[in-house]
Amino acid sequence: MELLWILVKILIVFGVVMLHVAYATYFERKVIGHMQVRMGPMRVGPHGLLQPIADGIKLFFKEDVIPTPADKQVFYAAPLICLISAVSSLAVIPFFEGFAIANINIGLLYIFALSSLASYGVVLSGWSSNSKYAFLGGLRSSAQVISYEIAMGLSLVGVMMMAGSLNLTDIVHAQMSSSFKIYLIPQFLGFFVFVVAMLAETNRTPFDLPEAETELVAGYFTEYSGMRFALFFLAEYIGMIIMSCIGVICFLGGWSGPFHVPGLPFFWFVIKVYLFIFFYYWVRATLPRYRYDQLMALGWKVLIPLALFNIVLTGTIKSISG
């Protein structure tokens, strides 16, 4: 019976997230369109509302081209690795009080572990395509993700220290009972590092070097087409949603809000996640791409020392205040 309930929960979460992913692409095109003083998609349905469905059908029926010199097995496996690692992260995220598919003690570490797996999909897709552009994209991505994963992990250590737990539900509870209600205020340094590392981890502008259109055609997925291309696309957007969820859970107080909304326990969670996602689009429409050496310098010389300083600071304050 419990197994059945878990399966139902998996189906609910998966379905809802897939729907959100579809409309996150629509939201992105609309937001960026309006920021650039144009309308965005308008043709399919009222205000282009059916655009994501049309896109999905198009991608599904497109020819699946596989380059002759590609390493077939790895070429097939790479997009699946990306997608599976992104989707499995959803399992530990508590969307509201008492609703997580698996409420495990090492929730945060589990997400780190899976996000490190996602970089394999990118690297291997670049390698297996046997194409220069894809390969360069894969190499860039592997170096970038390793560098920024360290910064991201360290930026969340402050949160772990304050909450005294790695369990995501416990982190939210600890925030509710803390004096500021959210960790954004005492952990502002950690939050800054987290937000920058979040953009880099999901390969989004201004850190989208692995898929820089002007240099690498499309980067690591240049040789992919049809449904396999769509899998990468899905993985990227689910990755964005996951990162936003972690940000909301660790810094913005999870599902808690200024007042209770009856019947919608996930109301504040969704609002906060969409704030993060809007921030992603805002940054994309505003900032130019970093150069590769700037990216590395920022990661290693600014973010990691800042995150380390934040850990020392948090530890000192915690031991003084007892």
Partner 1 sequence: MVQFLFFYFAIAVIGLGITIVNSRNPVHGVLLMLVLFFHMAGLYLLLNAEFLAAVQVIVYAGAILVLYLFVLFLVTLREEVRISPFIEKGYWMGFVIAIAMFITFIKGIQNFTLGEHGAYTIEKIGQLTHTKAMGEAIYTTYILPFEVAGLILLVAVVGGIALAKRERKGA
Which distant-in-sequence residues (6+ apart) come within 8 Å of 168 by Cβ? 92, 93, 94, 100, 103, 107, 108, 249, 254
Q: Does 142 bind partner 1 (CB under 8 A)?
A: yes
- Which position among 11, 113, 185, 302 is part of the footprint of partner 1 (CB under 8 A)? 113
Q: Which of 70, 41, 71 is nearest to 58 (CA)?
A: 41
Closer by beta carbon to partner 1, 145 or else 248: 145
Write a three-state SS string for 141-186. Answer: HHHHHHHHHHHHHHHHHHHHHHHCCCCHHHHHHHHHCCCCCCCCCC
Q: Does 130 bind partner 1 (CB under 8 A)?
A: yes
Q: Does 110 bind partner 1 (CB under 8 A)?
A: yes
- Give me the least distance between CB of 86 and partner 1, in Å please: 15
According to DSSP, residue 70 is labeled S
Beta-ladder partners of 99: 96
- Which position among 96, 99, 120, 300 is part of the footprint of partner 1 (CB under 8 A)? 120
CA–CA separation, 192 and 197 (whole Å): 9
Which distant-in-sequence residues (6+ apart) come within 8 Å of 21 by Cβ? 234, 237, 238, 241
Q: What does the angle CA 93 – CA 277 – CA 260 come to, to the nearest 5 degrees?
A: 60
Stretch that binds partner 1, among 23-31, 121-129, 251-259, 309-317 (CB under 8 A): 121-129
Q: Does 157 bind partner 1 (CB under 8 A)?
A: no
Stretch that binds partner 1, among 60-68, 87-95, 99-107, 304-312 (CB under 8 A): 99-107
- Which position among 143, 151, 156, 182 is part of the footprint of partner 1 (CB under 8 A)? 143
Q: Does 124 bind partner 1 (CB under 8 A)?
A: yes
Q: Using CB under 8 A, which residues numbered 158 to 187 contact partner 1?
A: 166
Q: Using CB under 8 A, which residues numbered 68 to 87 contact partner 1?
A: 71, 73-74, 77
User: 254-290: buried (b, 16+ CB within 10 Å) or exposed (e) per residue?
Assistant: bbbeeeeeeeeebbbbbebbbebbeebbebbeeeebb
- Give me the least distance between CB of 149 and partner 1, in Å please: 7
Closer by beta carbon to partner 1, 71 or else 97: 71
- Which position among 50, 53, 59, 139 is part of the footprint of partner 1 (CB under 8 A)? 139
- Which position among 75, 127, 224, 255 is part of the footprint of partner 1 (CB under 8 A)? 127
Which distant-in-sequence residues (6+ apart) come within 8 Å of 10 by Cβ? 91, 101
Residues at the contact surface with partner 1, assessed by CB under 8 A: 71, 73-74, 77, 104-106, 109-110, 112-113, 116-117, 119-120, 123-124, 127, 130, 135, 139, 142-143, 145-146, 149, 153, 166
